[in-house]
Structure 1
Amino acid sequence: MNSNLVAIGCPSRGVSSFNDLGTAIGSQDFQWLSVGQAALFQLERSFDTASVRSLTEHAATLGIDLFITHKPLEKKKLLVADMEATIILDEMLDLLAEELGLGEAVANITSLAMNGRIDFTRSLAARTALFAGTPENRLLRLCDRIRFTPGAKCLVSSMKKAGARTVLVTGGYDVFAQRVKEACGFDEVIANKPAVQDGLLTGHLVPPVCSAGTKREVLERACRDLGVSPEHACAIGDGANDIDMLKVAGLSASYNGKPVLRDVVDFNVVHSDLTAVLFAQGYRASDISAQA
């Protein structure tokens, strides 16, 4: 069975790292998707799980991320993305907790949830309860601390340019998600809303709560609306509450994903930025938006 192997590296490492990878694979026959950054190897053999891990580990020493598939590369019709530690670099509730002197307590709950050790919905309720009495305008000010993951805006704008629908779905708060939606250009956003009374957070969430199940439902609903199967969708997440949607997507990816995702995603971006997810769909440099 033939395999498509897409290698994406940091441009600063140069062409030589791809030549070294070709030597390890046993083939120097590759096409540049972006010179010095991404290359496509079309190989007349398949890779078992052990071989993929071994080759991925070797590529990592060269500063290269690998995406290996037996299916043809295709530009997906739908992008469904988690927000925190995926499209943006931080967990916003952790940042809020730091400002309120609750950093350790909230960060511990976040970590347990993202690694699948406690139920996400329960963990979110526990964190939200700790914020009771916080002025709502404090959340608005915190939006100024949002840091976007390298390549995130290019990923969204390039897929939209190619005709894909883009959806941001997060267990985080809507005040942050709306700012991210506007900055990246997502078509739609689904997020959680903290309850507010007299300008203060009550410590509760306005139902319904966006959970792991919600994320999968959003992906499946968007596919139905587009008239395509989930095989034509790309999903990106970083933690345990993303597993349900990642499992049904035709292309599943993570950015420095938690260990719990290692055997779930098709592609974990470690050395590259999020434009790597475009190359994994067969995009070339000329297809990618210049938006930073």
Structure 2
Amino acid sequence: MDNVLTLIGAAGVQLEDALVGRLRTNLRGLGADVAPPDWLSPGRVADIRFGHLACEQADAAARALLGAVPADVVAQPAEGRRKQLLVADMDATMVVGETLDELAEHAGIKDKIAAITARAMNGELVFEQALRERIALLDGLPESALAETWERTRLMPGAQVLVRTMKASGAYAVLVSGGFTYFTSRVREVCGFDMDLGNRFIFKKGKLAGVEDPILGRETKLATLLGTAGERKIPLSMAVAVGDGANDLDMIRAAGLGVAFHAKPVVAAEARVRIDHGDLTALLYAQGYRDADFVQ
């Protein structure tokens, strides 16, 4: 059987045997050969091997059956599912929330900045222009606000496990963000990424005075995926890219496993693989890792 469908229940959600059984019956009704479930996480995450059916059809059948059940679905070829390269966005992907929005709280304009961020991440604004606009609104912010913002920044659940588990299996991990290197460098260190890329603040006399050119955005993220894969001789089919915003779409489309993670509507609509309910360990289950494989 050439394909595998992975059902990933949200934290605390148990997938009943009867539900999995109905899914297997439905897949057989579409003409598929279907294997018994292989539980990657007992009662919560199941692999179902199948053949003679397109992944898109299996995905649609699973989503229709799940309905309101908080579980994610990944249907893909079984061969090559364990990837050798991870390229990840930072804000609202590897960390909770948007670091620039949190920084804006020190200037008392978080809501104003967050509104611009939301429009940019949904593709309504050109990212580079939106970033310059937000930085201009924060002009004069004290450099000390960066450390205070970092102290309040939380990693997305599963972030460290995702990176460390993939690296333990020989993968290379890159953090690439339209955010700022002050934060990407720290996320790289605490998660174990091999490298990080981001934009750079300009400070003068301890006050925020702008952003360095060129601005890292959508094109740079795709170029980072392509360039890193080329340099390390890793086929794009063996790469996983994950993000939530419009500037992540190109790299998500290009990667063998491109994942929209709790994504903005425009991204969720375009990406074939969506994680709407689970945490970042869902990317490990999608690659066939079991609970016992996780590096905590």
TM-score range, shorter chain: over 0.9
The partner residue of 2:141 within 134, 137, 147 is: 134
- Could you say which residue in structure 2 is the equivalent of 1:233? 239
Residue correspondence of structure 1 range 165-180 to structure 2 within 5 A: 165-180=172-187
Equivalent-residue separation in structure 1 for 2:54 and 2:232 (angstroms):
33
Equivalences for residues 1-292 of structure 1 within 5 A: 2-10=2-10, 12-16=12-16, 18-26=17-25, 29-47=36-54, 49=56, 52-59=59-66, 61-202=68-209, 204-289=210-295, 291=296
Displacement of 1:207: 1.9
Distance 1:123 1:31 in 2: 46
Q: Name the amino acid aligned to 1:12.
A: G
Other structure's SS at 2:146 match: helix
Q: Is the 8 A contact 2:9 2:15 kept in 1?
A: no
Contact 2:106/2:145 (<8 A) preserved: no
Q: Any conservation in 2 of the 1:60–1:271 contact (CA below 8 Å)? A: no
State the shift of 1:206 in Å. 1.1
- Is the contact between residue 215 and residue 242 of structure 1 (CA under 8 Å) also seen in structure 2? yes
Query: Secondary structure of the residue that 2:234 maps to in structure 1?
Result: coil
In 2: Cα distance, 1:73 partner to 1:229 partner: 10
Distance of 1:60 and 1:145 partners within structure 2:
36
Residues 164 and 191, structure 2, Cα contact 8 Å, conserved in 1:
yes
- Whether the aligned pair in 1 keeps the contact of 2:86 and 2:174 (CA below 8 Å) is yes
CA distance in 2, matches of 1:49, 1:231: 17
1:55 shift after superposition: 2.5
Q: Report Cα offsets for 1:77-107 as digits up to 9, x if no partner.
A: 1100000010111101111222311122211
User: How large is the RMSD of aligned CA atoms in angstroms?
Assistant: 1.9
Q: Is the 8 A contact 2:167 2:173 kept in 1?
A: yes
The one-letter code matched in structure 2 to 1:259 is P
What secondary structure sits across from 1:262 in the alignment?
helix
Aligned residue identity for 1:20: L
1:218-241 Cα offsets, whole Å, 9 max, x none, are 111111121122111100000100
Normalised by the length of structure 1, the TM-score is 0.92
Change (3 A) 1:165 1:2: closer
What's the CA shift string for 1:36-60, capped at 9, x where partnerless? Answer: 2211101123247576345224325
The amino acid of 1:13's aligned partner reads V
Further displaced range: 93-102 or 132-141: 93-102
Percent pairwise identity: 36
- 2: CA distance between counterparts of 1:51 and 1:43? 9
CA distance in 1, matches of 2:170, 2:265: 33
Once residues 164 and 24 of structure 1 are traced to their aligned partners in structure 2, the CA distance between those partners, rounded to angstroms, is: 33
Distance in 2 (CA, whole Å) between partners of 1:271 and 1:28 is: 25
Q: Matches of 2:35 and 2:194 in 1, distance apart?
A: 40
Unaligned runs of 5+ in 2: 26-33
Give the aligned length. Answer: 288
Q: TM-score, normalised by structure 2?
A: 0.91
